[in-house]
Chains A and B, each alone.
Chain A
């Protein structure tokens, strides 16, 4: 059986420069408003009492996110046309020749992976740079990261090496779609579902 691929993200290394996002946009020639890889800034905090003094106890961290090529992709499940499919290597792709542009997958995906291209009237999404991988290169986002916070490979190997954490805030409960994603969490990463912070850049996502 072909090995199932996934992404690895080391949150402890990411400094939020968004080079991954720009590299993806450049390589795939994405129009304004379509951004397959985005970087979420999540921040929050509380006041901590130290004797008679209250000191701020704050956190902020970045999460670089594209399609996670889920094991149970909700976009594939809901798509009425079968344009959205999952290949033997686990990569989820959209066939523009079949897509009707109803945007149902966009409603469904909790990672905003399928994105609507108003010029073509079809959905578009990350295919983990299939053309680059075929030539033995890394996906554009992975290659562009100056902090080496991103990686890709067989998900089994990534999990063996880095563990199986697939979600921290603001990512959704991974049991919904079973993403092929492994995260090394930031020291302040908040567990998924706790809602302790807020997105600082919602308009970029």
Chain B
């Protein structure tokens, strides 16, 4: 497994997870508010929103380890006209800044709801711009055949929504579990039938999307390998990276994650389900898929074999 690029592996995965979680949270709030009321939905989704910030900050901190002279860090904004790396950094910082502003606005109830929605929508767009610019850093190198393919942006966006969905699902389940535990301790009656229904509806949607996205991975991975192998030369050398124990482990983890989600969807995701079981299932699926994506991203960097000398 390639660990030389560990700062980039951590940064790209956490960055994508943050954007995916943000976009999916936005979608949940948008659709669930109509049915369950915005206060119930906000109480349910706010903890997840506040958790995105630290994830992104951790990713950005890891990315600075990739720079060997941090005293020149501010120079990275200089080449917006042609460098995707400059653009990516601007998108990261803007996404982080807007996310912070949104979290503060949500916490202190600044501005009208409509204004906060507009800010959230704009932040989501900037986040999607971040994932696109991240993928372009690699796609725009015609000298690295394993990266200069449509698979790079498709894989990055798949990872974004996959990790985002599962992170949000885990956060929801854990939130509900903690709340129900708190309610039992306080001796209060669990009135959360609606919260339970909201949780299971969201988790069903999230589980289904995650299974579909895992399916996308099972299509693009073999396509990528066969395209590279068919091209021959250095491309075929890159293809050989996608083999061996780590590659098999990645596929097995993805498969187990998807399987666990399927079991959960068809057997446990009901309004009366025990929140602890739901939280356990979704979090385990998230951990499995995160481990698979870590291996996948590490192999993505290991497949960097350049043409020429």
Interface residues of A (CB under 8 A from B): 38, 40, 63, 65, 74, 77-83, 97-104, 107-112, 116, 118, 120-122, 170-173, 176, 195, 199, 205
In residues 255-309 of chain B, which contact A (Cβ within 8 Å)? Answer: 304, 306-309
Residues of chain B contacted by A77 (CB below 8 angstroms): 82-83
User: Could you pull out 14 A-B pairs where Cβ atoms are within 8 angstroms?
Assistant: A65-B309, A80-B77, A81-B76, A83-B72, A97-B72, A99-B69, A99-B75, A100-B70, A100-B73, A110-B308, A112-B308, A112-B309, A118-B68, A172-B308
Which residues of A sit under 8 angstroms from B307, Cβ to Cβ? 110, 172-173
Asked whether any CB of chain A lies closer than 8 Å to the CB of B55, the reply is no
Tell whether, in the assembled complex, residue A121 and residue B69 are in contact, meaning their CB atoms are under 8 Å apart.
Answer: yes
With A78-B84, A170-B309 known, 11 other A-B pairs at CB within 8 A are A74-B141, A78-B140, A79-B85, A81-B76, A99-B72, A100-B67, A101-B72, A107-B304, A110-B307, A172-B307, A176-B142
Contact A79/B83 with A108-B141, A195-B232 known, Cβ cut-off 8 Å:
yes
Q: Which residue of B lies closest to A108 (CB)?
A: B141
Q: Is the CB–CB distance between B78 and A80 below 8 Å?
A: yes
Q: With both chains docked as a complex, state the minimum distance between the C-beta of A92 and any C-beta of chain B, in angstroms.
A: 14
Please tell me if the beta carbons of B89 and A80 are within 8 angstroms of each other in the complex. yes
Cα of A114 to Cα of B163 in the assembled complex, Å: 36
CB of B86 closer than 8 Å to a CB of A: yes
The complex places the Cα of A43 from the Cα of B141 at a distance, in Å, of 27
The answer to whether A100 touches B309 (Cβ under 8 A) is no
B-side binding surface: helix, strand, loop or mixed? Answer: loop
**CA of A38 to CA of B70, assembled, Å:** 30
User: Chain B residue with minimal CB distance to A78?
Assistant: B83
CA distance A81 to B306 in the complex (A): 22
Contact indicator A170/B76 (Cβ below 8 Å): no
CA distance A120 to B68 in the complex (A): 8
B121 to A: closest C-beta gap in Å: 28
4 closest A-B pairs by CB: A101-B68, A110-B308, A121-B68, A81-B75
**B138 nearest CB neighbor, chain A only:** A107
- Report yes or no: A81 in contact with B309, Cβ–Cβ below 8 A: no
Chain B residue numbers with a CB within 8 Å of A116 are 68
Residue of B nearest to A118 (CB): B68
Task: Choose among A83, A170, A176 the residue that contacts B143 (Cβ–Cβ < 8 A).
Answer: A176
- Cα A111 to Cα B309 in complex, Å, equals 5
- Contact partner of A101 (CB less than 8 A), chosen from B67, B86, B309, is B67
Distance (whole angstroms) from the CB of B91 to the closest CB of chain A? 13
| A110 and B79 form a contact (CB under 8 A) | no
A40 and B309 alpha carbons, distance in the complex (Å): 8
Q: Tell me the smallest distance from the CB of B92 to a CB of chain A, in Å.
A: 12
A149-B206 Cα distance, complex, nearest whole Å: 65
Q: Are B75 and A102 in contact (CB under 8 A)?
A: no
Chain B neighbourhood of A98, CB < 8 A: 72, 75, 78
- How close is B229's CB to chain A, nearest CB, in angstroms? 14
- Shortest Cβ distance from residue B133 to the other chain A in the assembled complex, whole angstroms: 11
B240 within 8 A of A: no
The residue on A at minimum CB distance from B75 is: A81
Is the CB of B144 closer than 8 A to any CB of chain A? yes
Across-interface contacts of A171 in B (CB, < 8 A)? 308-309
Closest B residue to A98 by beta carbon equals B75
The smallest beta-carbon distance between A80 and chain B, in angstroms, is: 4
Are the CB atoms of A100 and B76 closer together than 8 Å?
Answer: yes
Which residues on the A side are within 8 Å of B75 (C-beta)? 80-83, 98-100
Q: What residues of B have a CB within 8 angstroms of the CB of A121 in the complex?
A: 68-69
Bound: A110/B304 CA distance, A: 12
Complex contact B304–A122 (CB within 8 A): no
List B contacts of A109 (CB < 8 A): 143, 308
Chain A residue, CB-CB nearest to B66: A102
How far does the Cβ of A149 sit from chain B's closest Cβ, in whole Å? 17
Does B182 sit at the interface, judged by CB under 8 A? no
Within 8 Å CB of A99, what residues of B? 69, 72, 75
